[in-house]
Amino acid sequence: MNSHMDTVIINRLKPNNVDDVIKIEESAYGDHHWSRESFLNEIQNELARYYSVTTPEGKLAGYAGCWHILEEAHITTIAIAPEFRRKKYAQALLKKIIDDCYSEKIKYITLEVRKSNKPAINLYSKYGFSSFGTRKGYYQDNNEDALIMWTKNIFFDEFKQNYEKTVANLEKEITIK
């Protein structure tokens, strides 16, 4: 085990996290970000699961959210503060989302991502998502298209084997609590 390994803590997002979330939202999405009220509503939504990733010192490094609808999960957002990017924190959040889908017997996970967001597309592809089309002009700020990405059934061996291998590699680089 790497003694210099980062440790992150993942918890359900709470209303008292929202002010810090908005700071990350602004850095990630500029003027076209969700409002404080939107996050407070999402945290209360019974279909939604929102998570924070924090450092052991308690600094909010990022957050993610998804909706669970029947046997499908839809990832609504994943964002990491600029100073914590490229440190596997988004992977830790994505792992939490996928693990919850396993525990709640959700078979498919979907999301939209900007066609220009290559780091996010690469992350999702690494975790078994594939693009199955586009939403033309999906993003209101610049009319950019979104890729629609889906997993195959996460209970199928093809997905599970890739996921387990990817997570094993992740856990060599970061400790998730």
* Residues annotated catalytic, as ranges: 112, 124
Neighbours of 110 (CB within 10 A): 16
Distance CA 57, CA 174 (A): 16
Half-sphere exposure of 152 (CA within 13 A, CB side): 10
**Burial of 177 (C-beta count, 10 Å sphere; 0-12/13-18/19+):** exposed
